[in-house]
Structure 1
Amino acid sequence: MDTQRSGTLLIAWLLPLLALAEPAQPTHQFTLDNGLKVVVREDHRAPVVTSQLWFKVGSADEPPGQSGLSHALEHMLFKGSSKVCAGEAASILENLGASQNAFTDKDVTAYYQTLQPHQLGVAFELMADMMSTARLRAEDFLPERAVIQEERRLRVDDDFNGRAQERLASLAHPASSYGVPIIGWMHDLQRLSAADLRQWYQARYAPGNATLVVVGDVTQNTVKTLAERYFGVLPARPLVESRTPLELAEPGERKIILHQPIAAPRLMMAFNVPSLMTADQRKTVHALRLLNALLAGSNSARLRKRLQFGERVFSATLSDYNALYRGDSLFTLDVEISTQHPISLDDAQTRIWTVLDDIKATPPTRDELERVRTLLIAKQLYDRDAIEQQADRLGSLESIGASWRDLDNEVDELNQVTPEDIQHVAVTYLTRQRLSVAHVLVENRHE
C-alpha cells in the first residue's frame, strides 16, 4: 500500500469533520467551603452522566520504603465505610446498571461511576462516605495485600513487558520519584500495614486535595445542590503539599540488559523530557506530541514506514509521550526485532538514530506536519463522543495543577506548532545525555 497516498486520503476525509467540530460544551467550576473543587461539563447528547473523584496523590508522593501505598489504599476503600459493608458500594451501583472502577497513577488516585442522571446522588453519597469514613481494618488488609501481591506477579514479575517497562522507568528516573512503580516493590508490599494506610488516608484524602469532575446530561445547579448535600458536610482538613518530581537535565546515557522468555529481542529507549507542567513553554509540549506521532503514530510515520514496512527489520514499532504529569516525563520508543530479518539490538539502535538525526538535520515538511496534526486533532474531537474520556482529561489537567480550560485550547495550540518547532525539540531532547536504553534479549534456558 502507498502509505503516503493513504495518509493524504485520510486527511481529505477528516478535514470536513474538523471544520464541523462542535464548540466546547458549557463548563462550570465552583469550590465548596471545605475546599473540594467541582468541575461540571454539560453534554446533553445522551441521558447519562459520569462522576469522577480525583485525589492529588499517587506513587510519586510515597515515602521511601512504602511504595504501593496509594494503590493499596485505593483497593481498601471498597472494604467498607460507615454506611456500607465490604463490596456493597459496588453492588449498589451494579444493581442500578452503573459502571464503576478506580485507578492509581503516579500523581493521582481516581474513582469513577457512569450512570443515569437521576442516580447521581447515589454515587455522590457513596463516594463522600468512602472518602471520609473508610474502615481500613487490619483483618481486611491482610488478605487484600495478598491480592495486590498476586496482581504484581501477574502484571510485572511474570509478564516480560511489565517487568521491562518497570526496570526501564526506574533507570530513567535517577533523581525523580517517578521511578517508583505504582503497584509498589514486592518487598515494600510485604511490610505495608493497615496503620500505614490509615495515616496516608488522613493525610491525603482531605476535600481540599480532591477534584470532583461531572460530565454528562446534567446542569450546574443540579450538581451543585447534590455536591453540597453529600460532600459539603465533610470537614475541611489541613493539606500536605505535593512536590513536583524533577529530573536531572542531562543524567547521561544509561543502559540495562534483561533476559526474558520472549520470542524476539526488543529495544526500548526512553528520553527525559518535560511535561505540560515543567516545559519552558506550552509549544514545547505540543511539538513533542507531534514528534511522537510523526515517528510512530501511524503506519505512515517515519520509523514504521522505513524500518518496519520498508527494511522490515522491526515487527512492531511503538512510541509514547504523556505530557499530563505534575513533574518531568519520558519520550519512549519501543521496537521488536523481526524474526524474518533479524538484526542486533545495537544495529537497531543505530538505525533509529539515523531516523532521529534526519529530523534534527531537516524539519519535517508542511504536508507531513499537517498529516500528523490532523490525526491528533481528530482524536481529540472523537474523544468528545465519550463522556468518560472528557472527564478523564479534565480530571487529569486539574489534578496536575493545570486547568480544565487547557482542553478547549488544545486545537489552537497544536495549530501553532511549526516544522522548526519539531526540529528544535528533537535536537534538544532526543540526545544520548537524556537516554536510557533497555536491551531485552531472548532468554537461553540452557545457560
Structure 2
Amino acid sequence: MWLTLALMPMVAQAADTHEFKLDNGMRVIVQEDHRAPVVVSQVWYRAGSVDEVNGKTGVAHVLEHMMFKGTKTVPPGQFSRLIAAAGGRENAFTGPDYTAYYQQLEKSQLPLSIKLEADRMANLELTKDEFSKEIRVVMEERRWRTDDKPQGMLNEQFNAVAYQAHPYSRPIVGWMNDLENMTVEDAREWYHNWYAPNNAILVVAGDVKAQDVLKLAKQHFGVIKPHALPVRKSQVEPQQIGERRTVVKVPAELPYVLMGFHVPVLQDPDKDWEPYALEILAGVLDGNASARLNQKLVREQQLAVDVGAGYDMVQRGKIGLFELEGTPSEGKTVAELEAALLEQVEEIKQKGVTNEELQRVKAQVIAADVYQRDSVFYQAMKIGRLETTGFSWRTLKDYPAKLQAVTPQQVQEVARKYLIRDTLTVATLDPQPMDPNAKPKGKPYDR
C-alpha cells in the first residue's frame, strides 16, 4: 500500500532511547519499552516518491511490492508466511519522503525479523515474471484506491495543481501511463540506487535491550556493503503568484471542496516557531467537535455535513500546505461552503484567537501524546518518520514546550502572513450522475 502520513502528535521519548551507527553507515535506534513482551521492528529507507523522475512515477511503491517477491534463499511470498507462522504481523508503506517495512512480533522472534529484512536489503531477486504479475496488482490498487474514489481523484488533481515544479505534485501510486510502461529494469534501478545500509534506519521498539538489538543488527545488516547514493537535486517550488483552481467532474454522490495555502514547514527545530503556530491554528479550526469550523459551519449555520483543517510540519521536501476541506449540506453549494471556510480564516486574521481556545488545543495535543505512548508501534513510527525526513528523534523531547510557547498573537500572525488568496489552490468535486449498473474499475486489494 502507499501511505501519506499526517503529522502524528509527537511525545517526548523516555530516557531509554539508544542510537547506534554501524560501520556501513546504517543507523540503529532502539526504544526500550518493557510493559509487554512484544517488539516492533521497522526498516526505513530514505527514498520515496519525492525522489522519482517523470516517466517513472510510482516506482518507489512498485518496489515496495516487489520486496515481498523473494530472495536467493526465500521464495516469493515466503517472507509473509514466515512472519505469520511466528505469530507476527507485517506490512509496508510508501510515502513521499520514505518507504518503510515493519513487523510486530513476540519479542523472542526479533532475530527472525532482522534476518529476513537484511536478506531482502541485499539479496532481492527481481524477475521479469514476478514483476509482470505484481505491476498488474499495483494498477488494480490504483484503480481501487484512486480511480474508483471521487475524493481520491480530486486529491490527485489538487496536488498536481498546488505544486507545479515540486515532486510532491506526483501521486505516490504513480500515473497509470507510467505504470503501464514500467519495466523490471526500472524497479531494479530503484533498488540498486536507494536500498543500501547507508540509506536506511532500523528502528526497534518494545521489550528489548538495546545492546541485544545492536548485536543482531551487526550480525545481519553489518555485513552488507554500502554504496554511493545518487545525488539528490533539490527542487524548489516557485512562489505562487495567484489563486489556482481545478474542477473534477466524476460520478459521485456529493460535492466536496479542498483548499490549500502554501506554508512553511519545520526547518530548524531549535529556532522555528511558525510551524508550531500553524499546528495550533489547525487545532483551533478543527481540533474537536467544539472547534470553530464544526461549531459554526456544521452546527450553527448547517452549511456542511463535515469540515476539516489540517497541517503537517514534517516534510523532507521543505514545503507544505495548510488545508481546509468540507462537504456541503443538502441544498447548499460548494461556493457557499468555500466562502464560509474563508470567512472563518478571516475572522482569526482580524480578531485573533482566545486564550481559552489556545489552551484547549494545547491540552488536546498533549493528551494525544499520552495516549499514543501506549502504542509501541507508533513510538517507532514517530522516530522513523522524523529521522527519514532529516530530523533527530531528540526533537521529540522539545515538542511539548515548543507548543506551549505559542501565543495568540503568533497564531494570528501566521494566519495573516500565509493564509492569503495569492497562495491558495482550490479543488472542487462536481458530482456527475452515477450509473447504478456501473461496476468498479478496480478490486479491493490489501497485502
Instruction: Tell me whether the two structures share a fold, i.e. TM-score over 0.5.
Output: yes
Is residue 286–residue 294 contact of structure 2 (8 Å, CA) maintained in 1? yes
The answer to whether 1:121 aligns with 2:114 is no
Distance in 1 (CA, whole Å) between partners of 2:202 and 2:286 is 35
| Matched residue, 1:76 | 66
Distance 1:363 1:244 in 2: 36
- Whether contact under 8 Å (1:245, 1:326) holds in the other structure is no
Decide which of 145, 167, 184 is 1:177's aligned counterpart.
167
The answer to whether structure 1 residue 357 and structure 2 residue 350 are counterparts is: no
Q: What is the CA–CA distance in structure 2 between the aligned matches of 1:388 and 1:144, rounded to whole Å?
A: 28
Measure, in 2, the Cα distance between the counterparts of 1:41 and 1:181.
33
8 Å contact 1:42–1:217 — kept in the other structure? yes
How many Å separate the matches in 2 of 1:362 and 1:272?
A: 22
> After the TM superposition, which residues 207-286 of structure 1 pair with which residues of structure 2 at under 5 Å, given as runs?
207-277=197-267, 281-286=271-276
The corresponding residue for 2:314 is 324
Distance in structure 1 (CA, Å) of the matches to 2:242 and 2:196: 40
SS at structure 1 position matched to 2:369 = helix
Which position in structure 2 is the counterpart of 1:395? 384
Change (3 A) 1:150 1:184: same
Change (3 A) 1:280 1:117: closer
State the Cα distance separating 1:249 from its structure 2 match. 3.2
Secondary structure of the residue aligned to 1:282 is: coil
**1:11-410 pair list within 5 angstroms:** 24-277=14-267, 281-327=271-317, 328-339=319-330, 342-410=331-399
3-state DSSP of counterpart to 1:190 = helix
**1:82 Cα deviation after fit:** 1.8
Aligned-pair CA distance for 1:402: 0.5
Gap regions ≥5 residues in structure 1: 1-20
Shift of the 22–251 alpha-carbon distance from structure 1 to 2, 3 Å rule, reads closer
1:251 deviates by 4.2
C-alpha contact (below 8 Å) 2:205/2:377 kept by paired residues: yes
Q: Residues 229-262 of structure 1, C-alpha deviation per residue, up to 9 Å, x if partnerless?
A: 0100101111224344532333421000112322
Counterparts of 1:394-433 in structure 2 under 5 Å?
A: 394-433=383-422
Structure 2 CA distance for aligned equivalents of residues 221 and 293 of structure 1 = 40
How far off its partner does 1:23 sit? 6.9
RMSD of aligned residue pairs (Cα, Å): 1.7
* 1:23–1:71 distance in 2 versus 1, CA, 3 Å: closer
Give the SS at the match of 1:309: helix
Counterpart code for 1:228:
K
How many equivalent pairs are there? 424
Does the 8 A contact of 1:279 with 1:285 survive in 2? no
Contact kept in structure 2, 1:178 and 1:245, CA below 8 Å:
no
Structure 1 residue 282: Cα displacement: 2.6
Q: Is the 8 A contact 2:151 2:429 kept in 1?
A: no
Q: Is the 8 A contact 1:270 1:332 kept in 2?
A: yes
Q: Is the 8 A contact 1:39 1:214 kept in 2?
A: yes
- Describe the SS at the equivalent of 1:238: coil
Structure 2 CA distance, aligned partners of 1:444 and 1:87?
42
Give distance in 2, aligned partners of 1:272 and 1:280. Answer: 22
1:274, 1:22 → 2: CA distance? 23
1:6 alignment counterpart: none
Cα contact 1:244–1:326 (8 A) shared by 2: no
1:259–1:441: 8 Å Cα contact kept in structure 2? yes
Identity across the alignment (%): 39
How many Å apart are 1:331 and its aligned residue?
Answer: 1.3
- TM-score by structure 1 length? 0.92
User: TM-score by structure 2 length?
Assistant: 0.92
Greater Cα offset, 45-54 or 346-355? 346-355
Q: What is the aligned partner in structure 2 of residue 7 from structure 1?
A: none
The CA deviation at 1:306 is: 0.4
SS of aligned partner of 1:374: helix
